[in-house]
Amino acid sequence: MQEQVAEMAAMLQELKRRQEEELNSLRFYRQDELSVMIDDELVDEQPPVDERAETLAAL
């Protein structure tokens, strides 16, 4: 039982560490810096309704 608790604590620490890394990377970028990475030609393009439904079906 102690081993399981220790393993779960280690997994939780790892998850928290990863989450903190992700949050730090999100904080690093500003909105104007993120917009540089977006292709302006693709911003308004949306797939047809049928394609969107197929894409979400796997979720």
pLDDT for 57 equals: 53
- 27/24 Cα distance (integer angstroms): 5
* Residue 12 and residue 18 in contact, taking contact as beta carbons nearer than 8 Å: no
Per-residue pLDDT in tens (0 to 9) along the chain, 59 residues: 899 999 999 999 999 999 999 888 877 766 555 555 556 565 565 655 555 555 555 55
- 11/5 Cα distance (integer angstroms): 10
Tokens at 58, concatenated: 């796997």
Tokens at 53, concatenated: 């439904």
Q: Counting beta carbons within 10 angstroms of the beta carbon of residue 33, is it exposed (0 to 12), middle (13 to 18) or buried (19 or more)?
A: exposed
pLDDT for 22 equals: 87
Domain ranges in the chain are: 2-57
- 26/49 Cα distance (integer angstroms): 31
pTM over 0.85: no
